[in-house]
A = this chain, B = another copy of it.
Amino acid sequence: MDDDAAFIEQCRAAVERRLAELTPDRAEHPRRLAEAARYALLSPGKRFRPMLTLLAAREFGAEPPMALDAACAFEMVHAASLILDDLPCMDNANLRRGRNTTHREFDEATAILASVGLLNRAYGVLAEDEGLTPALKTELSRRLSEAVGFHGLVAGQAMDLEDRGRDRSPADLELLNHRKTGVLMVAAAQAGALIAGASEEAVRGVGEFARCLGLAFQIHDDILDVAGGADLGKDLGKDAGMATVVSVLGLDGARAALEGHLEAARAGLAGAGVGKGLLAPYVLALFEARKAAA
């Protein structure tokens, strides 16, 4: 493992440890709620959103520990959103990351409460972060609320459910995919840049990078759902009958769109005069690994 890979693994391990500290202990009451929150949050994962925060912070000169709690807040929001997406009244999924989804392992009510508890805890973690100024904490909290809310993640999930089965234009699909995946990646990456005191232009560039990345991820998920390998650890074929980039553009068209978004992501970073750190290589290596596994 070279130095960069070792550094990245250190960051991931730091996120893992800090997440465990920031989540209610199993011994706490009510125990079942705490267990469900830990189950959903601490299951093995790439910790992709926290890594975006940490590597974006480093890109502008802030060492990872400074951005660690904010990074963890984004993973909490992500875990919360996955719990809801999997619910019987939404995607009705049985498997996630190779294990039972939270409502299957516990029950629906406990899963919903764990999700709300994790989203809510993310704001507490931001507010309690002693390394950041109140003005910065307020700004991160405001941006997180924008990313999650009625124009962000929550809206994306609602659009996905509302329009299911209907035809979707490529523009509609892009908005849907951005809200379902991109907004939180943008907020996570920009949080790192903001914590490091990056310029407005640089924050915009990092945001554009993450926006394109989110679109690439969503298309990649759609491709895997149709053509994918067996070890994704989640239910496949869930999108049958739904309009996705694959159903609209075909498999080859989707692959071309994916490459286009990755190219635009790189250009977003470079255009803003950033991207000399580990952010771009980390993300691109992740994509290569995903493609190789499929």
**Chain A interface (Cβ within 8 Å of chain B)?**
24, 28-30, 32-34, 37, 80, 84, 87, 89-90, 107-110, 112-113, 115-117, 119-121, 123-124, 126-128, 133-135, 137-139, 141-142, 144-146, 148-151, 154-155, 157-159, 161-162
Min C-beta distance of A110 to chain B, whole Å: 7
Contact for A34 among B28, B109, B133, B150, CB less than 8 A: B150
Of all A-B residue pairs in the complex, the 9 with the closest CB atoms, nearest first, are: A124-B145, A127-B142, A134-B134, A33-B158, A89-B108, A24-B150, A134-B135, A127-B141, A30-B158
Contact for A137 among B119, B121, B134, B158, CB less than 8 A: B134
This chain: copies in complex: 2
List, sorted by A's number, 22 A–B pairs whose CB atoms are closer than 8 Å.
A30-B158, A30-B162, A33-B158, A80-B116, A84-B112, A84-B113, A89-B109, A89-B112, A112-B112, A113-B154, A113-B158, A116-B119, A120-B154, A124-B142, A124-B146, A124-B149, A126-B141, A127-B139, A127-B145, A134-B134, A134-B137, A137-B138
Interface of A is mostly: helix
